[in-house]
Amino acid sequence: MADPVSWLLIEPGWKVVDRDGNDAGRVDEIVGDTGADIFNGIAISTGLLRGRRYVPAEQVAAIVAGQVQLDLDADAVRQLSDFDEPPPSEEILTPDPKR
């Protein structure tokens, strides 16, 4: 097996496999904060009719160039939650006391 790489190198389209090495889908989106180096998880595309599923970082067992291996079996992958887009960032402004 290839050497592990950082989550920061994951790219959409990378292969995703379950713990037994079976194809589980493709990386669709990476969820995290690159500035703070916080990896939250990935959204994977599991097929045209199944939509996108969310895999929390805790369920990612290994990351190597071009592939993400999950710590889930095939049944658990099928039961993953749908991926909901994270809400857009909002800037909260404090009132100006001079106004």
Tell me, yes or no, whether 84 lies in a domain.
no
Exposure of 13 by Cβ count < 10 A (0-12 exposed, 13-18 middle, 19+ buried)? Answer: exposed
Q: For tokens 């887009």, name the residue.
A: 85
Range of the domain at 65: 7-78
| pLDDT tens digits for range 72-96 | 999 999 898 888 765 444 444 445 5
Tell me, yes or no, whether 38 lies in a domain.
yes
DSSP secondary structure, 28-92, as one string: EEEEEETTTTEEEEEEEE--TTT-EEEEEGGGEEEEETTEEEESS-HHHHHTPPBPPPPPPP-PP
Domain containing residue 21: CATH number: 2.30.30.240
69 versus 78: which is more confidently predicted? 69
| pLDDT tens digits for range 12-47 | 999 999 999 999 999 999 999 888 899 999 999 987
Tell me, yes or no, whether 24 lies in a domain.
yes
* Structural contact between residues 41 and 56, judged by C-beta atoms closer than 8 angstroms: yes
Number of domains observed in the structure of the chain: 1
Tell me, yes or no, whether 89 lies in a domain.
no
Tell me, yes or no, whether 97 lies in a domain.
no
Tell me, yes or no, whether 87 lies in a domain.
no
* Structural contact between residues 45 and 52, judged by C-beta atoms closer than 8 angstroms: yes
